Amino acid sequence: MVGLFGKLGSTVVTGLVGAVAWDGVKKAADRGLLREAAVTTTAVGLRGRRSLEVGAERLRLATGDVVAEARERVGEQAPPPGSDLGGHAHDHDH
């Protein structure tokens, strides 16, 4: 019987903590804090993505420069930029 009351008490405490937490979330949402946090998090993510894209482009350009210089050293002519389309024809007008 004591074990049953212990489990019942634990369940009541867990429910009470959950209810208090839910009330806190509702109040934060009512104040717009939740939305502000979501917007801020998204903005940070967009800045991070942009930074990664810039870094990737710099790396791509640096790699292209190294490959072009290496081809020049062995006497090969580097293809013009954009001519390596992986075997796909670029047959439409812009």
The token pair at 3 is 């074990």
Same domain? 66 vs 38: yes
Q: What range defines the domain where residue 23 resides?
A: 1-31
Who wins on pLDDT, 87 or 45? Answer: 45
Same domain? 37 vs 13: no
Asked if the structure places residue 93 within a domain, the reply is: no
Phi-psi group of 7: left, alpha or beta (phi > 0 → left; psi -120 to 50 → alpha; rest → beta) = alpha
Same domain? 67 vs 56: yes
- Residue 7 has phi, psi (to 5 degrees) of -65, -40
Model's pTM, two decimal places?
0.47
Count the domains in the chain: 2
Mean pLDDT (whole number) for 42-65: 94
